[in-house]
Structure formats: C-alpha cells, structure tokens
Amino acid sequence: MGFASEFREFAMKGNVVDLAVGVIIGAAFGKIVDSVVKDLIMPLVNLILGGQIDFSNKYLVLSGSVPAGATLAEAQKVGNVFAWGNFVTVSINFVILAFVIFLMIKQINRLKRNEPAAAPAAPAEDVVLLREIRDALNRR
C-alpha cells in the first residue's frame, strides 16, 4: 500500500472526520459562548453589582509603579501584575459552557428513543455442542 493511499485511508476514517467536525463546531460554539458571556451575562452582573464592573481589567500590582486607573495592558507594560480579572472571566465562560453542554446532552437523552433491546444472537455451533456434552455428562 502506497503512502498516499495509506494516508487517505487514515484521513477518511470515521473517527478522524468526526473529530474534525467536532473541533470546528466547538470553535464556533466557543465564540457564541464568549459573546453570551460578554454581551449578555456580564451586563447583568454589572447591573446586579450596581456599577460598571469589567473583570477583564481587574489586576493586582505585584511590582513596578503602575498609575492609578491604568488598563491591564498598560499595567503589564509598566510592571508585574496579577491579572485575576481575566481568570474570573474565563472561569465564567467555562461554567456557562459546561451548563449549556449539560442542557444539550440532557435534551438529547430525553429525545432519544428507547429502542428495544436486540434479541440475543444465537450461540455458536461449538458452544451448543459443548452444552449438549455438559448436559449429557451431568445426566450420568
């Protein structure tokens, strides 16, 4: 088998194609979740907390002289900062993504039909013969 045909066989296997589709859909879904968090959830959090809270620009200065009110990017240029707000934003994204996936799987399982169990396959001929021999020996 030539290298090209072997590669084509590998690339066209069902698992590889399914994985590629999953990665593409996952990337698109990640953008949707980011938009939901940034454009829908965070404004509600800001409203509940009573202010213009932007977690992505929250940080703690570890070293250097960072001017008051500097954005995270400006602070990182001037000194060493602990960017805890970015971690909070990513964590919220993860929780929302996990919750949405949970709801999707729950819905898929609910909609999935309970197919009747398939009848057990007939045992192989040698198994039947061995059972007959066993039964004959037990009768002696």
- Give the per-residue pLDDT at 116: 64
- Give the per-residue pLDDT at 138: 94
79: Cβ contacts below 8 Å, ≥ 6 apart: 61, 62, 63, 64, 65, 66
Q: Which domains are present in the chain?
A: 1-53 (1.10.1200.120), 55-140 (no CATH)
- Give the per-residue pLDDT at 133: 92
**Pair of tokens at residue 68:** 């008051």
- Give the per-residue pLDDT at 52: 63
Residue 33 identity (one-letter amino acid): V
Residues of the chain with pLDDT below 70 are 1, 14, 52-54, 114-118
Phi, psi of 50 (to 5 degrees): 75, 35
User: Cβ distance 98 to 37 under 8 Å?
Assistant: no
- Give the per-residue pLDDT at 87: 86
